[in-house]
Structure 1
Amino acid sequence: MIEIPEYAAQVLQTLESNGFEAWCVGGCVRDSLLGRTPQDWDAATSALPEQVLELFGAQARPTGLRHGTVTVRSSGQSIEVTTFRTDGTYRDGRRPDSVTFTRSLREDLSRRDFTVNAMAADVRGTLCDPFGGRDDLRAGTLRCVGRAEDRLAEDALRILRGLRFCAVLGLSAEPETDRGLRSCRSLLNRIAAERVRAELDGLLCGPAAAQVLRAYPEVVGTVLPELLPMVGFDQRSRYHCYDVWEHTLHALENAPPDRLVRWAVLLHDAGKPRCFTQDERGGHFYGHPAVSARMADGIMERLRFDAASRQAVVTLVEWHDRDIPRTEKGVRRALMRLGETRLRQLLAVKRADNLGQAPEYRGRQTELDRGEEILEELLRENACFSLRDLAVNGRDLLALDFHGPELGAALERLLLAVVDGEAPNERAGLLKMAKLLKDAPDIRVIDRKYEQK
């Protein structure tokens, strides 16, 4: 039995009481069987879209009439109600050219991608499972409905969806589906970048992300070809017992499921194959953080990430190998440059990176622990690490006749003096220091003059 939330049950009951079949379908049923809370509930019905619109009146609006979908508001929630249908051909490898409405729930379920998504539940929680989705869930199996290659070729995005389900739900593709995921991978080039990005986001944050990437590098490499040179690339370094790809996957296994952290870990060593040199001491990758950062920037631009996410990941990749002294001054400076959120993410990237190295070189965990302790101490003390926290502001410096770029430069210099512990964050003292900036552009000189006063 599946427990249907009241708002969805009301919609099903209204449809049933008017002589129509009505079922909750797809992911909500799957997640309920797994004991997970569904993000949303979708319904399928024998009612035609026009009948749904008439039945629910002002509560309904057409959101996809071509495919039979009407969105119904119920108790402040929205539920998509779609007429039972069969799909025509998929000439573009993404959407059916046409749909045909049907009176059969089984026919509707038969067009779906995987058996675990081809289940339905009525208002009483009774399960309809014509393709064995519940048994596949119990066995941890991903299986296409029908012939795998046909189903995946219809809509190539299903390839990445399948990998995402494996990463998030811990499923493993059965042999025919596994072959289809691999053999149809070239079709992914037809898929819009935004849709690829969304599926990769979900995949990377899944508990089994590393296992899926390990099993399907050639599939993921179809949309992220920059990763393929990492696979099997021997680092020839005493610090590493894994090749570049395996190191990355071990790091990923030790990264928190933060979307930006996971992307940064995935890409942090992407530039290593391009930077490899070797001498009598072994392999080296001089300059690889900068190269990896440029590659990350290009990948994220191609996948049309928003600017903030793109900049965040590029910064984390660029900084991943940079030493941050485990001192109050060192952490203050990092806070000034990165801010609290980004610094916490960077420490997570560094921790994961270190845990992907050879066991004898994983001792940096203690150093990272100390860095986090100092960070927490500074935050408890409300330490000044940004212009927002500085005891003086732009208006104060305008009153001292600072203008344009020199005003911003002066504020930055005052902030640096406070961050480095060379001046207290006190308004009167900072104003005196600011007056000296007119004559002494070097902050160190200013500090000495200030001390002499």
Structure 2
Amino acid sequence: MTEIPQDVKLVLEALEAAGCEAWCVGGCVRDLRLGRTPGDWDVTTNALPEQTLALFKDRAIPTGLQHGTVTVRTPERAVEITTFRRDGDYRDHRRPEQVTFTTSLEEDLSRRDFTVNAMAMDLRGTFRDPFGGTADLEAGILRCVGEPDRRFREDALRMMRGLRFAADLAFSIEPRTAEGIHRCAALLAQIAPERIQVELTKLLTGRGAAEVLRAYLDVLSVFWPEILPMVGLDQRNRHHCYDVWEHTLHALAASPADITVRYTMLLHDIGKPACMRLDEAGRGHFRGHPAESARMADQMLRRLRFDNQTRERIVRLVEWHDRPIVPEDPAVRRCLRALGEEELRKLLAVKRADNLAQAPAYQDRQRELAQVEAILDRLVEEDACVSLRQLAVSGRDLLALGYVGAAVGQELERLLDAVVEGVLPNERAKLLKRAQEHREIFPQAENTGKR
């Protein structure tokens, strides 16, 4: 089992030396029991917040005094220290209106969400597990502490946290807890979109993400109702053996656990229901669905307050997911120019997963995608010119030829197009010669940009 880090031990020792109890608690203890390295370390104590502040002096930050929380900075991390407490009424389904401090560790653990998060351990490895968290860890079960409906009505975000834990740990949710999630799902409408986004992102990158989404579609549809028309929609196309929703889940399961790729898989066919048309033979066609999916994905991601860069990357991958890439140098160069190496590799991962979720007889694009990736690897190794930065001439060179204003950028783009298409080598002399020829063909280049 992974040990408590030295800086966290020093925090525990300082509290104990002051005559107080001090326990690591929650997710860090769960991860220790699973042999994982915890990402965060939380401590619970019978010391009052004022005592904690006085004990750690300038290293202590009063981050949540109304809830008994003080954050202590160590050279390695920030450690949250919270006084043993019992919670009052939850009126906004998120945080208690008031808390009461207590001297009982067990009472503090009883207010927590799931049994696997209601365990505590001290410096010497003394372990407290009053609600059977260890047994649930060993059985791979996620279970609420106490009555599930009460836990979820107190803090509705616990439902998303539960789904996230189930996906990340590949745990099953025990029946009473699952029933509570289904009954209380509508309460998520009252939770801040940013908070839902954080939990959904962690859920999607979990190894059990597809299974959780399949079982808890009603939870997902509270904030993304656009998902529902995909469910049961027969694609009526020989390339597909699943309805749109099942295809989506199989594609997601076949993709790497990368945030942008997983969101792309979840949303890549969201526009299919609106675009579906049947031909005379009753076959389904979805012309224009990548553009419609990209439009809808943009709206859905904005609703959950995604940052612009992440949102734009996902939307671009959704829009590109169905574009063919011929395994030839010019075609791969064009994609590399448009997307960059990192994003193009993600697009190939999207295409692989999408193809693997089609009917087995049509999962024949894997070899072609491998050829595209081999060309990409070679182009990257050769530092092939696909951007203005790599071009062997610059704007200064064109100015010397007599280009002015916007014509400089326009000619650089023309030259880069020629290099990317393989019409010209990326050689300074040949590029300058072509630029001179263009200037003679387009004499207006001299005046472009004049005011």
Question: Above 0.5 in TM-score?
Answer: yes
Q: Which residue of 1 aligns with 2:383?
A: 382
Q: Given the superposition, is the C-alpha separation of residues 188 and 404 from structure 1 closer, same or farther in structure 2, using an over 3 Å criterion?
A: farther
State how far apart, in whole Å, the 2-side matches of 1:405 and 1:2 are: 61
RMSD: 1.4
TM-score by length of 1: 0.95
User: Structure 2 counterpart of 1:356, which letter?
Assistant: A
2:414 is aligned to: 413
Partner of 1:25: 25
Aligned to 2:307: 306
Q: Distance in 2 between matches of 1:2 and 1:150?
A: 34
Matched, 1:85 2:85: yes
Aligned to 1:203: 203
**Does 2:283 align with 1:282?**
yes
Question: Which shows bigger deviation, 158-167 or 3-12?
Answer: 3-12
Aligned AA for 1:387?
L
Q: Kindly indicate whether the alpha-carbon contact (under 8 Å) linking 2:106 and 2:130 is maintained by their aligned counterparts in 1.
A: yes
C-alpha separation between the residues in 2 aligned to 1:404 and 1:134? 70
Q: Aligned-pair distance for 1:316?
A: 0.5
- Paired position in structure 2 for 1:245: 245
Partner of 2:99: 99
Match of 2:449 in 1: none
Please say if residues 22 and 43 of structure 2, whose CA atoms lie closer than 8 Å, have aligned partners that are also in contact: yes
Alignment check: 8 A CA contact 1:2 1:125 kept? no
SS state at 2:78 partner: strand
| Alignment match, 1:272 | 272
Q: Which residue is equivalent to 1:401?
A: 402
Q: For 1:2 and 1:277, how far apart are their aligned partners in 2? A: 56
Which residue of structure 2 aligns with residue 445 of structure 1? none
| Structure-1 residue corresponding to 2:136 | 136
In structure 2, the partner of 1:179 is: 179
Report the TM-score when normalising by structure 2: 0.96
Residue 437 of structure 1, CA deviation = 2.7
Match for residue 371 of structure 1?
Answer: 372
Deviation per residue, 1:198-224 (Å, 9 max, x gap): 111101100010110111111111111
Q: How does 1:318-333 map to 2 (within 5 A)?
A: 318-333=319-334
Q: Deviations over 1:181-214 (max 9, x none)?
A: 1111110111111111111110110001011011
1:427 aligns with: 428
What's 2:224 paired with? 224
Do the aligned partners of 2:2 and 2:37 also contact (CA within 8 Å) in 1? Answer: no
Offset at residue 439 of structure 1 (A): 4.1
Q: Distance in 1 between matches of 2:217 and 2:38?
A: 30
Q: Detail structure 1 runs of 4+ shifted over 6 Å in the superposition.
A: none
SS of residue matched to 2:323: coil
Q: 1:297 aligns to what? A: 298
Match of 1:347 in 2: 348
| SS in structure 2 of the partner of residue 103 of structure 1 | coil
Give the deviation of 1:12 after TM superposition: 0.7
Q: Matched residues in 1 for 2:438 and 2:64: separation?
A: 64
Does the C-alpha gap of structure 1 residues 439 and 9 become closer, same or farther in structure 2, counting only changes over 3 Å?
A: same
Q: 1:328 to 1:113 in 2, by over 3 A?
A: same
Aligned to 1:447: none
CA distance in 1, matches of 2:314, 2:76: 37
What letter corresponds to residue 86 of structure 2 in structure 1? T
Per the alignment, residue 59 of structure 2 pairs with 59
Task: Tell me: CA distance 1:2–1:383, structure 2 relative to 1, closer, same or farther (3 Å).
Answer: closer
Gaps of 5+ in 2: 444-451
Q: How many residues align?
A: 442
Range with bigger deviation, 72-81 or 335-344: 72-81
- Does the aligned pair in 2 maintain the 1:71–1:79 contact within 8 Å? yes
Contact 1:20/1:45, CA 8 A, preserved across alignment:
yes
- Helix, strand or coil for the counterpart of 1:298? helix
- Is 1:392 equivalent to 2:393 in the alignment? yes
Identity between Structure 1 and Structure 2 (%): 61
Deviation at 1:406, TM superposition (A): 2.4
- How far apart are the structure 2 equivalents of 1:236 and 1:283? 5
Shift of 1:441: 5.7
Contact 1:148–1:180 (Cα < 8 Å) also in 2? yes
Distance 1:89 1:403, change over 3 A: farther
Structure 1, unpaired ranges of 5+:
443-453
